[in-house]
Chain A
Amino acid sequence: MNKQRDLILAFESSCDETSVSVIEDGNKILSNIVATQINSHKRFGGVVPEVASRHHIEQITLCLEDALNQAGVGYEDLSAVAVTYGPGLVGALLVGISAAKVVAFTHNLPLIPVNHMAGHIYAARFVKPLVFPALALLVSGGHTELVYLAAPNSYEIIGETRDDAAGEAYDKIGRVLGINYPAGKEIDRLAHLGKDVFSFPRAMINENNFDFSFSGLKSAFINTVHHADQVGEKLDHKDLAASFQQSVVDVLAEKTVNALKKYPVKQLILAGGVAANSGLRERIERELKKFDNVSLLMAPLKLCGDNAAMIGAAGHVAWKAGVRADMSLNADPSLEFSWIK
């Protein structure tokens, strides 16, 4: 007889990617189908929630069939169904939740509700096992937060952004530079070709907490560009990008280092869409050399964006911890981890 495998079918539809995945034993990707809507939202310079929801419903069963076919498994092989139930766009979340509930109900499988941010953290699980206690720096288009993980399936916020998320700031200054949404990758590329000559503010860097703020940086950036426009001066986009990125990276790195000092952990996990940023990766790698007993675990580049594989990995841990939802599961668009006590 074959060794019993844990097979989790996972759904993710919180923003502009429809994704379904099959994960074996919480750490092996059998399939990870991702249908991205970027080309659609590019038309509007950002994600339009109603348009996103409409695309999800076009894609959902196609992704489901592809995920099972590619994994080479049938419904009878599955152990559980995991689904993102927040945070995210409510209409978008509801498509994944409705589909996941049907599969769980019709095939008598446990339904596991997963926090999208836990998913981002567990994207790193496909590189190496997590070691506890751990600290996660989560940076994405919608979120910027430091999360303490005392044990598996335990997530506590120790700091978060008070205004814009880092990824949001990238998209907003991208617009000023005439870079198409999503702008992160191009700004990262430009930043490597320029120098930090503008010395934009590093908000809250010296404050005695682990919170972030990026709206001041965004305003300083926009003011600088507008002022130059008014006096007919042409600023180097490479230097602008480098200065902006340096400010973001400085704040993220500094706060993370402070957090590591206050909360001794065995592992630092870098996750979220902005974790693909090479400037941030290089800087965190360098800072971590100062900590002997902390290993660095970075989510694989191709799993930094939204995908269902990461939901399957986090879902596996939640499933083992006994987390279950019933058929009344609803979307929670502003779902958050609780704050550390």
Chain B
Amino acid sequence: MKVLAIDTSNQPLSVALLEDEQLLATMTTNISKNHSVTLMPLIEELFKQTKMQPQGIDRIVVAQGPGSYTGLRIGVTTAKTLACTLKKELVGVSSLEVLAGALAHTEGLLVPLFNARRNNVFAGGYRDEKGKLVQVFADQHIGLDKLCELLKVYPKVIFVGNDCTTFKKQLLEKMEPERIFFASQNFAYPQAYILGLIGEGKVAVEVNSFVPHYLRLTQAEAQWLKNHRETDHEPYVEKI
């Protein structure tokens, strides 16, 4: 199976072409530039380097969130349009699972996290099961204090991701230091190769209804839901 993998969920951008679990080509950047400018030129370059045609791929795998809303939309729109226009399979993988994926075969609870500002994080809990990751608790948008509370019951917790440095001091204060570990910097950034490997093992999804996992309502919607019921409305989008 030939796979194109795309992760634009945060500042790092990573793309890869795989064939049957082998890496053909990958590129990763971590410059604070708009992914809209960078993503397609890099995909173009991947195909050029591998002398492959877009039609030659079987599956597109994309990091579906959580992460930066704009970043996710660029990646997911690109991935779903590729799947739609080339009539290929589409698979979404948690952006957090991509980070944890680099540490499969590690004992303990893997907790990848992204900074979600105001001392909130996007975090999930994963554990190794014979070289494959299984989810222990769902990806969520959560306050740092609440996360520490949630992690109380786990004897060994390994935090993963570049944003961990932002919270390291707090985490060491709030949790028993002997229980927590921080994955080294070589696992700090998402790798599209790992994303592709995870995506090869998942079931393809319906393309048109595929959307990012933002894990957060917009402020306007949250406000609206305080006084309304979600079922209480006309269809939000209509063809005219």
Q: Spell out A's residues near B (CB within 8 Å).
A: 18, 33-40, 43-44, 48, 50-51, 53-55, 57-62, 64-66, 75, 90-91, 94-95, 97-99, 101-103, 105-107, 326-331
Contacts and interface: CB of A to CB of B under 8 A. Distances in A.
5 nearest A-B residue pairs (beta carbon) = A40-B236, A327-B40, A98-B77, A102-B81, A61-B84
A98 B236 CA distance: 23
Interface string B73-94: 1101110111011100000000
A75 B59 CA distance: 20
A101 B208 CA distance: 18
Contacts of A98: 36, 39-40, 73-74, 77-78, 81
A58 B85 contact: no
Contacts of A38: 238
Nearest to A302: B240
Contacts of B236: 37, 39-40, 55
12 contacts: A34-B239, A34-B240, A39-B236, A50-B219, A54-B211, A61-B208, A62-B208, A64-B81, A94-B73, A101-B78, A106-B85, A107-B85
Nearest to B232: A43
Contacts of B212: 57
A290 B78 CA distance: 52
B54 interface: yes
Contact of A58 (B43, B228, B237): B237
Nearest to A93: B36
A226 B228 CA distance: 29
Contacts of B239: 33-36, 66
A38 B76 CA distance: 24
B198 to A, nearest CB: 22
Among A97, A102, A105: residue with most chain B CB under 10 A: A102
Contacts of A57: 73, 76-77, 80, 211-212
Nearest to A60: B77
Given A39-B237, A53-B73, A102 B78 contact: yes
B58 to A, nearest CB: 14
Given A57-B77, A60-B80, 10 more contacts: A36-B238, A39-B236, A40-B236, A50-B218, A53-B69, A53-B73, A57-B212, A61-B84, A66-B239, A99-B77
Nearest to B238: A36
B187 to A, nearest CB: 29
B235 A39 contact: yes
Contacts of B235: 39
A51 B220 contact: yes
A20 to B, nearest CB: 11
B185 interface: no
